[in-house]
Each structure stands twice: as structure tokens, then as C-alpha cells.
Amino acid sequence: MTEAVNQIRPDPVDEARRRLGFWLRHDAARLLWPNRCLVCSAAGVDGLDLCAACVEALPWNREACARCAIPLPQAAEACGRCLQRAARHRGRGIAPPLDAVRAAFVYALPLDRLLPRFKFHHDLAAGALLAQLMAQALHDAPRPDVLMPVPLHRARLRRRGFDQALELARPLASALALRLESNRLLRVRDTAAQSTLGAGSRRRNLRDAFAVRPGAPLPAHVVLIDDVMTTGATLQAAALALRRAGVARVEAWVCARAP
């Protein structure tokens, strides 16, 4: 299985060309449409739709727990809660569904303006900016075999009109020269909105909510993509479905982590 996975990894030269092409296309677009800040409408800087003040205010999540991305005074392999969770899993003789989580930002200004505009108001320009910022934050992350956006149930997709995790994953995969797989992980239950529930209810709400479509064996290392991580219940449930399908390592990359 490892040999088969290695065969689909891009050649380093091809990867460099793809990354260069991605940013050149963005440069060409900037010549036609100069950047404006999506938060305050001032002139954008550094090829971003953000002004200098809003760039300075970005709440990068550089000091965090490596397992759940919760912000910490200094980076750590695991926070206290993750150590307790790992001990419970060891006691049951099982591995945690998620091996690691990386979050580009803490969910705070100006992310708490940009993300709702993208997610609930179809602001695809905000989504493109967030994907660009995620690519900057994750450029040195160890590369997985494939990216998988956390899917919406088809009923919610019809109501919302687009899948925010997929809209982040597409440009991110292109910028980082990674394979994108958006059809294998399925949301098979139309669950209640997580934002209306407490932590325990969120976990129960997502029980057996995800499944993997039958097909070729999945690669060994998968990274899930989502917009915001709050309690982590959604990502844990999606990761568990991938583990049951034979994936050896599951991580998550998210745009923002709620503190």
C-alpha cells in the first residue's frame, strides 16, 4: 500500500511549477482588480484583500496544542485535555481518531467577520482570501497523501448553496500541490446545527454521521479540511469514519480555532 501511495505523490519539480502557476494566476488577476480590504475597504497590501492594519491584527495561532490546536501560552505536544483524552483511549486499547490538528488562526477579529461572511453569506472573495492565508500558515506542514474537505449533507448543501470546506480545500490543494479527494467521505445524516448544541450533545449528534464511499483503498495519511474547530466533535466523527476505512493517520487543518 505504501508503494502505491508513493507513486501518486507529485514530483518536486512539478510541485514547484504548480505552486508558481497558482500564484502567477493570482498576480495576473491583481493587475485587473486591485486589492481592497474585505474588512474595512482600505487598500490591500502584499497581494491580499486586507489592509496593513488588518494584516497586523491577524490572530495567527502559532502557539498551540499539537493535537487539538487550542491556543496555549507556548506550543506543546498536548494540552491537559488532550493528555486526559489520550489516557482514556489507551485504557480502551484504541488510538485517538485524530493524530494532530493545525489551525491557521484563533477565531477572533478579523476572522470572526470574514468567516461568517464566507460561510453564511456566500462571500467567495472572503473564502479565497482565507484559503490564501491558510496556504501561508501551512506551507511548512508535513505533506499528507490527500486532502479531504469535511462534507455537508446533501440537504444542507441544497439549503446553503455551496460547501465552505470544499471552497477552502480546492485553492489550498492547488497552492500546496496536494491531491484533493472530495467524493469518498460522505455525510450520511442531516444532523442538527452544531452551533445550537453543547459539547456532549455535539458528540451524540454526530454519531455515525459520516461514512466512506466504497472504492479503492484509501491512502495512509489523510488531512481533513474545515473552516472552524470549536469542540472538535465534527472532525473527530469524520476522522473515526476514515480510521474504520483503514486510514493509518488522520490530521485536520482548519482556518480558525475557537479558544
Q: In this model, does residue 222 exceed pLDDT 90?
A: yes
- Phi/psi for 197 (5° steps) reads -120, 155
Cell of 130: 482565507
Q: In this model, does residue 199 exceed pLDDT 70?
A: no
**CATH at 185:** 3.40.50
Q: What local confidence, expressed as pLDDT, does residue 251 receive?
A: 98
From CA 91, how far away is CA 97, in angstroms rounded? Answer: 15
Report the DSSP beta bridge partners of residue 185. 212
Q: What local confidence, expressed as pLDDT, does residue 249 receive?
A: 97
Within 8 A by CB and 6+ apart from 157, the residues are: 163
pLDDT digits (tens, 9 = 90+) for 13-27: 454 444 444 444 455
Write down the pTM of the prediction: 0.83
Q: What local confidence, expressed as pLDDT, does residue 156 receive?
A: 84
Q: In this model, does residue 8 exceed pLDDT 80?
A: no
Q: What local confidence, expressed as pLDDT, does residue 193 receive?
A: 64
Domain span at residue 107 reads 2-12+60-257
Report the DSSP beta bridge partners of residue 180. 147
**Domain-embedded: residue 48:** no
Our count of domains for the chain comes to 1
From CA 61, how far away is CA 256, in angstroms rounded? Answer: 8
**Domain-embedded: residue 139:** yes
| DSSP state, residue 229 | E
End-to-end alpha-carbon separation of the chain, Å?
38
Cell of 231: 469542540
> What average pLDDT does the segment 80-109 reach?
93
**Domain-embedded: residue 38:** no
CA 249 to chain centre: 16
Report strand pairing: 185-187 vs 210-212.
antiparallel
Q: In this model, does residue 216 exceed pLDDT 60?
A: yes
At 93, the pLDDT band (50, 70, 90 cuts) reads confident
**Domain-embedded: residue 113:** yes
Distances (CA, A) of 208 to 19, 81, 171: 37, 24, 29
pLDDT digits (tens, 9 = 90+) for 58-87: 999 999 999 999 999 999 999 999 999 889
**Region of poorest pLDDT, from 84-88, 174-178, 182-186:** 84-88
pLDDT digits (tens, 9 = 90+) for 103-146: 999 999 999 999 999 998 889 999 999 999 999 999 999 999 99
Comparing C-alpha atoms, which of 117, 119, 124 is closest to residue 157? 119
**Region of poorest pLDDT, from 83-87, 150-154, 193-197, 234-238:** 193-197
- Phi/psi for 79 (5° steps) reads -85, 175
**Domain-embedded: residue 40:** no
